[in-house]
């Protein structure tokens, strides 16, 4: 576990950079972390992030299929929003743990 300063605030992250306490997360942090991936967050990105946080906090296991069926974006669109890691990168930006799912 480590501390990291994101958007001017100190948060707890694990050694891969995922939040260990999702309640420390803010939208500004997501935007700043996205820059590391070369992603400029749009409303669509935030809708996916909100969906992931909501589902995670409801205790659900997250999969890209579930995001694809959310009505927000299809799976192809999800790959375009978060290139190279549709679920991994979006979860990191959403301030939730790395998804432990294989799908």
Partner 1 sequence: MSKTDEKPLKKVCIICAKGTIEDVYATLVLANGAVMEGIEARVFFTFFGLDAITKSQMKKLHTATVGNPALRMPGGIPFPSLLGILPGVEAGVSAMMKSQMEKLDIPPVDEFLEMITAGGGEIYACKLAMDMFKLKKEDLWEGVSGVLTVGEFYGMCGGENTQIIFT
Residue 14 within binding range of partner 1, rule CB under 8 A: no
Q: Which of 66, 35, 32, 60 is nearest to 48 (CA)?
A: 66
- Site map (CB under 8 A) of partner 1, residues 21-60, x = contact: ----------------------------------------
**Residue 18 and residue 36 in contact, taking contact as beta carbons nearer than 8 Å:** no
Q: Which of 99, 22, 94 is nearest to 66 (CA)?
A: 99
Binding partner 1 by CB under 8 A: which of 49, 52, 87, 96? 87
Shortest reach from residue 87's CB to partner 1, in Å: 6
Q: Which of 38, 29, 39 is nearest to 95 (CA)?
A: 29
Kindly list the residues in this chain that would bind partner 1 in the complex (CB under 8 A): 61, 63-66, 68, 74-76, 78-79, 83-88, 101-103
């Amino acid at each position: 576990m480590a501390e990291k300063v994101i958007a001017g605030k100190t948060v707890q992250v694990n050694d891969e950079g995922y939040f260990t306490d999702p309640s420390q997360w803010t939208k500004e942090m997501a935007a700043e972390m996205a820059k590391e991936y070369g992603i400029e967050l749009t409303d669509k990105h935030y809708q996916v992030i909100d969906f992931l946080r909501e589902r995670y906090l409801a205790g659900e296991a997250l999969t890209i299929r579930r995001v694809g069926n959310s009505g927000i974006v299809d799976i192809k669109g999800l790959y375009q929003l978060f290139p190279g890691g549709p679920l991994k990168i979006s979860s990191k930006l959403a301030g939730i743990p790395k998804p432990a799912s294989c799908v």
